[in-house]
Structure 1
Amino acid sequence: MQKRRTYQQLQPEERMTIASMKQQGSSVRAMARTLGRPASTVSRELTRNTCSVVGYASAPAQWLSTSRREAARTCPKLHPQSMSWRVVLTLLEWKWSPQQISGTLKRMWPNDPTQHVSHETIYTAIYAQPRGELRRQLIACLRHGHSTRMSRKRGTDRRGQIPDMVSIHVRPPEVYDRVMPGHWEGDFIKGAGNQSSVGVLVERTSRLVLLAKMEDATAASALAGFTAKLNSIAAPLRQSFTYDQGKEMTRHQELSAATGVRVYFCDPHSPWQRGTCENTNGLLRQYLPKGTDLSIYSQDELDAIADSLNSRPRATHAFHSPFEVFERMLATASIHSASIH
């Protein structure tokens, strides 16, 4: 493994050595050997920081180097002399929150990003102030007035939490075995800029895919789209539905009431717990590429895509298609239902 190269800026004492050796007429390579530096570093130092009046001297060379580095730094949007900072200060005095300020600046100048400042930038500018009266006054303007920024990881994060979730860990064992049919996994696949989406349903045993057109990524659209698709399946083959903790599933109890499926939720950031759906999403990207507008597809077109995928032979089914496997499952479910009645 190649060792990573590091570089340290020339220090003031090294510049003093270079100045002294230059007065003595030493060569660039001799200076480099003394400092333990590459000759190119010393040569570049002499070229950049030699003053036309006094030649090379350590103090002017240090000043020139520091000035050049400071000039290369991007000026922050909220530097003390900027107009944006004065506007932010005024709105903070009005007791506006950084989020309110950020949103208002975007509304006032929708076509001028140079006037936009995120709420995080405002918080950073406030807490970057040196200790003193101005810092105390700015922090006092904030709603909570903490003297230091508090970690968002402390305690329980309740943002966007779905009420009355039932964990995947209490899902019946037969769901894992893929022996009993009727257990589904679901997801949204997103289009360009997350502005469009399609609902995906996959049956775990047969790998049958259903696609639902969504008007948007809201809970209302998810409820309507998934309800319609699940209710198009025979009742014995809709037993459970496993999803991630996306906010579009906040109305999962209504989905259960409308379809009879039991809804289970995966752990956060655990896509492998819905591995069948994740793999299917990869196959669907052949038909619905990333970065495209998914709203252009009608429900009939999505159904045709699902039919195409469901007709493809699968190695996991000994090269039978999901359609064939699902038809056998449906026939078995019908026979079982008839025998009960």
Structure 2
Amino acid sequence: MVSCYTHLDLAERRCLAKWREAKIPMKEIAVRLGRAPSSLYREIKRNYFRDAELPQLDGYHGVAAQRMADERRATHRKLVADPALRTVVTERLREGWSPEQIAGRLRIDPRPGRVSHETIYRYAYSREGLADGLYRHLPERRRRRRPRIARRRHGKRFPEAMSIAQRPASVARRSEFGHWECDLVLFRREFGKPNISMLVERVSRFAMALRNDDRQSRPVMEAVADALSTLPSEARQSVTFDRGTEFTAWAHLQELLDVEPWFCDPKSPWQKGTVENTNGRIRRYLPRHADPTALTNRYLKSICERLNATPRKCLGFRTPAEVFRNRLIETGGSVN
């Protein structure tokens, strides 16, 4: 197992200086310290002491090297040195923004100061950030940050054969009934993991909303399968998803229903614009600050009934419920 890299501490720097002065070969010093020789050469280069007035004092000294390293690391702690910038960052973290969103917004905001998302992560996991509980507002909400070398790398979860580029043209043209789009509606992090799955039929714009207790893919897919199982097979031919981790259990959906899954291109949720548009409409009733733990499927059904009973210009001012019912009758099914 590969261990995480750590910086040299004061004791190691003192040993390095003493053994180097004793003319011990660098390879042997590296073995004694359990470090790579390249790390020690880099340490000496970065923390080599130079005195312009007394050049005879030039050299690698343990205490001086530790001070130089501490000073260098302190320059990266921008959020400690800048209270105004720190206030902006912590406020936005508590509002549910990710470090990447905060850093990106600060590049175009008139507020003074910029900061990278990595600096925000480091501050959140620093002694000051942990004392403020900032890790609770990060995307993963972990108390301890995993070292980069230990962060998981996932292989391909979505086969290219199921890419939206391979989806039949009749689906893209909305000329065939029974093709759905699915997405999750999320809420502020302080409310925990509950969320809502939105299902929208592409031809009729008929919408269904389903409550989820968390974002685990298998339960999400089971809820989708349960909602579509009451329809005839002609009315549930395919579902288009984005490439979020909550949809990685697509094979389980295929096991439960004979439904073809399609996936948007990476970072292209706009390719399932029907459900994205519907998400915007349902936000009128379920804003991001709403408490999802208080929502029931009965209440969500009442919201969808209102959406499905609203005339739509794209449907010739017919309602989604009317179009869906007529199409369903054509397939020999019925609407509850």
1:332 maps to a residue whose letter is E
Q: Which residue of 2 aligns with 1:112?
A: 131
What letter is aligned with 1:162? R
Q: Which amino acid aligns with 2:275?
A: C
Q: Secondary structure of 1:334's partner? A: coil
| TM, length-normalised to structure 1 | 0.54
- 1:204 equivalenced with 2:172 (yes/no): no
Residue 295 (1) aligns with residue 293 (2)? yes
Spell out, residue by residue over 1:193-222, the C-alpha distance to the aligned partner (whole angstroms, 9 max, x if none): 163210000000000001111011111221
Q: How far 1:158 moved relative to its partner?
A: 4.9
> Hey, what's the Cα distance between the residues in 1 that align with 2:228 and 2:194?
21
**Residues 41-60 of structure 1 mapped to structure 2, 5 A cutoff:** none
In 1, the alpha carbon distance for the partners of 2:134 and 2:187 equals: 29
| Separation in structure 1 between the aligned mates of residue 186 and residue 195 of structure 2, nearest angstrom | 4
**What is the CA–CA distance in structure 2 between the aligned matches of 1:289 and 1:115, rounded to whole Å?**
24
- Name 1:319's counterpart in structure 2: 317
| Pairing 1:57-68 to 2, within 5 Å after superposition | none
- Residue 296 of structure 1 and its aligned partner are, at CA, apart by 1.2
Q: Deviations over 1:220-279 (max 9, x none)?
A: 221221111111222210001000001111110110121211001101111221010111
Q: Kindly provide the amino acid, as one letter, of the partner of residue 171 in structure 1.
A: R
Q: Distance in 2 between matches of 1:213 and 1:302?
A: 8
Determine the structure 2 residue equivalent to 1:65: none
Q: Which runs of 4+ in 1 moved over 6 A?
A: 108-111, 114-118
CA gap 1:160/1:290 in 2 versus in 1, 3 angstroms: farther
Q: 1:88-167 alignment to 2 at 5 Å?
A: 112-113=131-132, 158-159=153-154, 161-164=156-159, 166-167=162-163
Alpha carbons 2:195, 2:212 under 8 Å: kept: yes
Matched, 1:187 2:206: no
Name the counterpart of 1:217. Answer: 215
Give the match for residue 307 of structure 1. 305
Give yes or no for the alignment of 1:76 onto 2:71.
no
What is the root-mean-square deviation of aligned Cα atoms in Å?
3.8
Structure 2 Cα separation of the partners of residues 232 and 110 of structure 1 = 50
Is the contact between residue 177 and residue 202 of structure 2 (CA under 8 Å) also seen in structure 1?
A: yes
Q: Cα offset for 1:115?
A: 11
**Contact 2:180/2:199 (8 A) holds in 1:** yes
Helix, strand or coil at the partner of 2:331: helix
For residues 190 and 78 of structure 1, what CA distance do their matches in structure 2 show?
29
**Equivalent-residue separation in structure 2 for 1:297 and 1:115 (angstroms):** 27
The residue number in structure 2 matching 1:231 is 229
- Which string of whole-angstrom CA distances, capped at 9 and with x for unpartnered residues, describes residues 33-53 of structure 1? xxxxxxxxxxxxxxxxxxxxx
Name structure 2 gaps, 5 residues minimum: 1-70, 81-120, 136-142
Could you tell me which amino acid in structure 2 is paired with residue 248 of structure 1?
E
* Residues in 2 aligned to 1:158 and 1:172: alpha-carbon distance in whole angstroms: 32
Contact 1:160 1:247 in 2 (8 A): no
Q: For the Cα contact (< 8 Å) 1:266–1:273, is it kept in 2?
A: yes
Q: Give the direction of change, closer, same or farther, for the CA distance of 1:114–1:210 in structure 2 (3 Å limit).
A: closer
**1:45-74 alpha-carbon deviations (Å, 9 max, x no partner):** xxxxxxxxxxxxxxxxxxxxxxxxx9xx97
1:317 CA drift (Å): 0.9
Give 1:164 shift: 3.7
How many residues end up aligned between the 2 structures?
210
Checking the alignment, whether the CA contact within 8 Å between 2:158 and 2:243 is kept in structure 1 is: no
| Equivalent position of 1:330 in the other structure | 328
Structure 2 length-normalised TM = 0.55
SS at match of 1:229: helix
Asked which structure has the greater CA Rg, the reply is: 1
Helix, strand or coil for the counterpart of 1:186?
A: strand
Contact 1:109 1:115 (C-alpha < 8 Å) held by counterparts: no
- The amino acid across from 1:321 in the alignment is T
Gap regions ≥5 residues in structure 1: 1-69, 80-101, 124-142, 145-151, 336-341
